[in-house]
Amino acid sequence: MKTRRLGPFSASAIGLGCMNLSHAYGLPPPADQAERLLLSALDQGITLFDTAALYGFGTNETLVGRVLAPHRQRFVLASKCGMQGVNGQRVIDGRPATLRASCEASLQRLRTDVIDLLYLHRMDPAVPIEDSVGAMADLVLAGKVRALGLSEVSAATLRRAHAVHPIAALQTEYSLWTRNPEIAVLQTCRELGTAFVAFSPLARGFLGGALRDVSNLEAKDIRRNMPRFSPENYAHNLQLLQAFELEAAALDCPPARLALAWLLSQGEHIIPIPGTTREDHLMEFFGADTLVLSAPTLARLNALMHPNTVAGPRYNAATQAEIDTEEF
């Protein structure tokens, strides 16, 4: 697979988001299935693995550590602090002492001496970003972390943080149906030399084409609370998906590969991190880095999905209040 710059690292142009293996979309897969998927991704050339203290309240880091620690020199390891499980509840806490303790716990679970890229998972509105990033910078000086990142923040917050310590990567949702980074963050990342890591590049499974019926999502599937997956909005969005799948068929490629190729074409500093629990879906990612999209194809895709054609906001009001990103 081709590579792209991620701060001081060279990483595969497509990384793997590990969240799905422990968190968010209902029951996680059996342990042996998750282990096979991680090792298959590594063997196929993926060299960026993204996890977080929050995912499965530590169980995802434990999984990644157990499976990939023997291969630690072969990949870039990214994790996140600042949002974690406390007494069974998700808590945003950007206080320096909390971030230091979270990093120590992550190092233990990941079975490593150093985390290559540590993100602030969410900005804590009660703590100045300068204080949180300053504490994370101390972790770099201590040799526990190699580079810093931010997740779900605005261009203005990125600039404030970057003034404290270089920010190697900014991670936010970006796909054909979520275009908010195009407001300001993508350009700011270019100016600062910050990589843009696109999470949910397949629109939480939507652009993969397999999710046709949202009525039977599992009880703990977070998409149940996302407006775009409500029955009325999803019925509209499925019409967009059908047109998108025709574009993929014309290129003789899976829809997921086309979605990733579109993202990669938006800038050399963009690295998508799709996630999956299935090896057959994983295989659909490969080839996106070499799929060249013509100007007419890009124009049709951009006209098909954008803020005025997709039904529903990406988050409900309560979740939107927790993040700092620009919104259309």
Q: What is the pLDDT of residues 195-239, one digit of tens each?
A: 999 999 999 999 999 999 999 999 999 999 999 999 999 999 999
Residue 204 pLDDT: 97
CA separation for the pair 42, 256 (Å, rounded): 19
Sequential DSSP letters for 81-93: ESEEEETTEEEE-
Give the C-alpha separation, 290 to 261, whole Å.
Answer: 8
Q: How far apart are CA 205 and CA 103, in angstroms?
A: 30
**Residue 13 vs residues 103, 139, 261, 301, 312: alpha-carbon distances, Å:** 26, 27, 10, 21, 30
**Known catalytic residue at 55:** yes
> Rounded to an integer, what is the distance from CA 306 to the centroid of its chain?
20
Our count of domains for the chain comes to 1
Q: Is residue 277 part of a domain?
A: yes
For position 7, what pLDDT does the model report?
Answer: 97
In a domain, 285, yes or no: yes
- Annotated catalytic residue within 55, 119, 234, 315: 55
Amino acid at 69: A
Whole-number pLDDT of residue 60: 98
The pLDDT assigned to 214 comes to 95
| CATH code, 119 | 3.20.20.100
Per the domain annotation, does 187 fall within a domain?
yes
| 0.95 exceeded by pTM | yes
Relative orientation angle of helices 59-68 and 96-110, to the nearest 10 degrees:
40
Please check whether residue 328 lies inside any domain of the structure.
no
Comparing CA positions, the residue from 162, 158, 151 lying closest to residue 185 is 158
Residue that the structure tokens 């196929």 belong to: 44
Burial class of residue 257 in the structure, from the number of CB atoms within 10 Å of its CB (0-12 exposed, 13-18 middle, 19+ buried):
buried
Helix (H, G, I), strand (E, B) or coil at 117: strand
Q: Minimal CA–CA distance to 328: which of 188, 178, 208?
A: 178
Residue 73, number of CB atoms within 10 A of its CB: 5
Nearest to 284 by CA among 179, 202, 203: 202
- Asked whether residue 282 is domain-assigned, the answer is yes
Report DSSP state, residue 56: G
Half-sphere exposure of 165 (CA within 13 A, CB side): 25
* Spatial distance between the Cα atoms of 223 and 225, rounded to a whole number of angstroms: 5
> What DSSP assignment string belongs to 175-199?
BTTB-GGGTTHHHHHHHHT-EEEEE
93 in a domain, yes or no?
Answer: yes
Does a structural domain hold residue 326?
A: no
Q: What angle do CA 232, 237, 243 make, to 5 degrees?
A: 145
Residue 28 domain-assigned?
yes
Q: Does the CA dihedral 189-60-206-323 come out positive or negative?
A: negative
Positions in the chain short of pLDDT 70:
none
Give me the helices (H) in the chain, please: 31-43, 59-68, 96-110, 129-141, 155-164, 185-192, 231-250, 255-264, 279-285, 295-304, 317-320
Tokens coding 161: 């943080």
> What is the model's pLDDT at position 250?
98
Domain that holds residue 149: 3-320
pLDDT of 120: 98
Render pLDDT for 124-138 as a digit per residue (tens, 0 to 9): 999 999 999 999 999
DSSP state of 322: T
The pLDDT of residue 249: 98
- The candidate with the shortest Cα–Cα distance to 242, out of 209, 213, 211, 217, is 209
Q: How many helices (H) and strands (E) does the chain have?
A: 11, 12
